[in-house]
Homo-oligomer: A and B are copies of this chain.
């Protein structure tokens, strides 16, 4: 093409860390024609994950490099790690991707809180267009974590795992994915007034048994669980910490492993000494970001498997609180106002911004 077609991008950027609402601003810059093996991307939507907030606060260990390539005076980074894009232009050397394809970034720190961006073909993973915008835009963090935790540690059909925070996004995904593989899930959820309703929902989703945190700490319930599972719970998934982590660890079989991938209670992981010495428990962490860095192919394969589960109806997309960013209508002030409000509510359920 001889005509030069300039894309105008609006991005949520930051140069320094602090209270997210204070450090984010809207920045406009131009993306020239795609060159070589790069592609120009238009965003379809992105979630706001807790890790995005922690990144803005400066307390998340994985962070994008700040750069002046967007034309800012101070070096800046575009916020956000997860999102779904449509390809609007491909460079002459791009081989597998075409205009109209839906893609997600292969790695974290991509800068997804933006109307447009540019990327090299090798740094993108293609998704079928039949996948919903929400499912596609949120596939990299929660479902990928759930899929890898259920699949990578030797669990087989008929085996049991236990998890706390049973109503969290990841935990709901874990239950669905485990069900698809014939793996039994014991989910622990916080005590609540609508316990029976929530329990019924989670059991319909795939949890084999649901108990409350009070029951999690009760010896008689522990004995029942031992009977139910044959004392053979192989893996615990902990995203709470504190007493909850002690109590799920106590239910594990000898030689089992507990993976910690979150710490909602803000309390340290707490493990009775005897479980280490006499039951040979192993405790490890799990971080999908690091896993993808070490083994990018794992992310590609995980995504393929998740797509199959979504398409077969075995996996339902996360519940999100959806907000709309109207690309042709919103002023910079309106965009910033929208984002600040969403960031404010980042811990009240999964927030999602759809770009139309």
Contact residues of A with B, CB < 8 Å?
61, 241, 246, 260-263, 268-287, 290
* Inter-chain contact B278/A285, CB cutoff 8 Å: yes
Given the contacts A268-B270, A274-B263, A290 and B286 also touching, CB distance less than 8 Å: no
A283 contact from B61, B272, B274, B282, Cβ within 8 A: B282
Contacts of A290 in B (CB 8 A): 278, 280
A276 touching B271 by the CB < 8 A rule? no
B282 with A287: CB separation less than 8 A: no
CB neighbours of A261 from chain B (8 A): 277
Contact in complex: A269, B263 (CB < 8 Å): no
List the 8 closest A-B pairs by CB distance, nearest first: A276-B285, A263-B273, A283-B283, A260-B276, A277-B285, A61-B278, A268-B270, A269-B271
Cα(A241)–Cα(B274), bound, Å: 11
13 examples of A-B residue contacts, CB within 8 angstroms = A246-B268, A260-B276, A260-B277, A261-B277, A263-B273, A268-B273, A269-B270, A271-B271, A277-B286, A278-B285, A280-B284, A281-B284, A282-B284
A277: chain B residues at CB < 8 Å are 260-263, 285-287
Interface centre among A263, A270, A275, A281 (most CB of B within 10 A): A270
- The chain B residue sitting closest to A60, CB to CB, is B278
Given the complex, which residues of B lie within 8 Å of A285, measured CB to CB?
275-281
Contact assessment for A287 and B283 in the assembled complex, using a CB-CB cutoff below 8 Å: no
**Distance from A271 Cβ to chain B, minimum over Cβ atoms (Å):** 5
Query: Could you tell me the distance between the alpha carbons of A61 and B287 in the complex, rounded to whole angstroms?
Result: 34
Other A-B pairs, 17, CB within 8 Å; known A268-B273, A282-B282: A61-B274, A260-B273, A262-B277, A263-B273, A269-B271, A269-B272, A269-B276, A270-B270, A271-B271, A275-B285, A276-B283, A276-B284, A276-B285, A277-B286, A278-B290, A281-B284, A283-B283
